[in-house]
Amino acid sequence: MASVIFIDPSSAAAVVHRLPFTRFSNGLISLRRLVGPLHVCSPTPTLPRTLSLRSPRSSRLVTASMATEPSAKVIDGKAVAKQIREEIGAEVSKLKEAIGVVPGLAVILVGDRKDSATYVRNKKKACESVGINSFEVHLPDDSSEEEVLKFISDFNGDPSVHGILVQLPLPSHINEQNILNAVTIEKDVDGFHPLNIGRLAMRGREPLFVTCTPKGCIELLLRYGVDIKGKRAVVIGRSNIVGMPAALLLQREDATVTIVHSRTKNPEEITRQADIIISAVGQPNMVRGSWIKPGAVIIDVGINPVEDASSPRGYRLVGDVCYDEVCKIAAAVTPVPGGVGPMTIAMLLSNTLSSAKRAYNIK
Ligand code: NAP
């Protein structure tokens, strides 16, 4: 079938549509070709296994020994993201009461892509749900780079705006780097500015913002009480928006990190040594049970549509990780959907709130 579907992974309930002949990937969204069924891997209900994991809602430590019926704990990104949104909502109210400031997120959309418009609408809704103001600029497809830069410059100087997000992809005549570099790092809530990424990579330096999806991955590990310090971590994928910053974040948490990419000779062997795996590849069910060390914790960032005749839509979403195989071996794993995806937008809201607090020197 000559069609592809697009997904906004930032949405808790992944928004999926069919589009003719479109393919791209940027931080929050990704278009993938519909892929035929490679291996049947579907989420199944699970129980805790080998690691000690802290419940994200309480400080209770859930310790489980190796079970005879092995099954991994599900790392529930949807529930954690909901909890984070509630926390953000409460902080936004406090900020308003204390100093009369409401955090604001500006989103610039150029062109008429329906998928981009959907993502912008979702971000707007998410802002509303926590009391963050959203400002939207929608420019025509033939807008010049200068026009876009002018809006960025205005938002950079607007004290009611604490975060600026330029929805990608931009029309081809606009230089994406010029646009992203123009967002002041103090409002770079997507964390794409080279200065923020550079600071993330440097010891002793702090980025003002960390890219939302990798930040969401680490937040899941931390909220589930997964011990990262001194552990062996493997990140599969090295993109600027997911794999690379995820590896830097794990290193900052004192993991010993290896990055696997498309030219890696023995990915299975390397991945099998990992206590923690973050996979951001975009290949359905690539990471098989045989790649997993017993008791590993797995964060599956991949969102891949595969054909499924039994689904009313004719496809379903799977991760990079073959869920039904790894859940028998791993200690914990994120499902797809409902794992990392909902965390991405929660981190965007969190970055916007942090930015507003920083602007008023509030801890
Ligand atoms: P990307 O820019 O296409 O990067 C993919 C990475 O995977 C590249 O570094 C590539 O290696 C590596 N790779 C490709 N094939 C491989 C293979 N066979 N073995 C090992 N590594 C391989 O993709 P992305 O934007 O990082 O996104 C990755 C996945 O995450 C996609 O499924 C996307 O939809 C999803 N995603 C989800 C969220 C979310 O919120 N949940 C957000 C963003 C993306 P090279 O560098 O060598 O080419």
Q: Is 105 left (phi over 0), alpha (psi -120 to 50) or beta?
A: beta
Q: Is 275 helix (H, G, I), strand (E, B) or coil?
A: coil
Nearest CA to ligand 1 atom 6: 237
pLDDT band at 115 (very low <50, low <70, confident <90, very high): confident
Give yes or no: 227 in active site. Answer: no
Q: Which of 123, 187, 215, 231 is catalytic?
A: 123
The contacts of residue 110 (CB under 8 Å, 6+ apart) are: 139, 140, 141, 143, 148, 166, 167, 170, 171, 174
Instruction: Enumerate residues lining ligand 1, CB below 6 A.
Output: 9-10, 25, 27, 30, 213, 236-239, 241-243, 260-264, 267, 280-283, 301-304, 340-341, 344
Rounded-to-integer distance, Cα 130 and Cα 153, Å: 26
* Ligand 1: centre distance to CA 238 (Å): 7
Annotated catalytic residue within 167, 187, 188, 275: 167
φ/ψ of 33, rounded to 5, equals -65, 145
Take residue 255 and report the two structure tokens written for it. 């993991």
264-323 tens-digit pLDDT: 999 999 999 999 999 999 999 999 999 999 999 999 999 999 999 999 989 999 999 999
Which is it for the CA torsion 248, 209, 241, 55, positive or negative?
positive
Kindly give, in sequence order, each residue whose CB lies less than 8 Å from that of residue 244, ignoring residues fewer than 6 positions away. 197, 238, 259
Q: How many CB atoms lie within 10 A of CB 142?
A: 10
Enter the tokens of residue 233: 């971590």
Q: Which residues pair with 53 in a beta bridge?
A: 62
Q: pLDDT, tens digit, for every residue of 218-267? A: 999 999 999 999 999 999 999 999 999 999 999 999 999 999 999 999 99
Q: How confident is the model at residue 53 (pLDDT cuts 50, 70, 90)?
A: low
Active site residue 324: no
* Cα–ligand 1 centroid distance for 349 (angstroms): 24
Q: Is 251 designated active site? A: no
User: Model confidence at 41, in pLDDT bands (50, 70, 90)?
Assistant: low
Write out pLDDT tens, residues 125-165: 999 999 999 999 999 999 999 999 999 999 999 999 999 99
Query: What is the C-alpha to C-alpha distance for residues 107 and 120, in angstroms, rounded to an integer?
Result: 7
Q: What is the pLDDT of residue 65?
A: 40
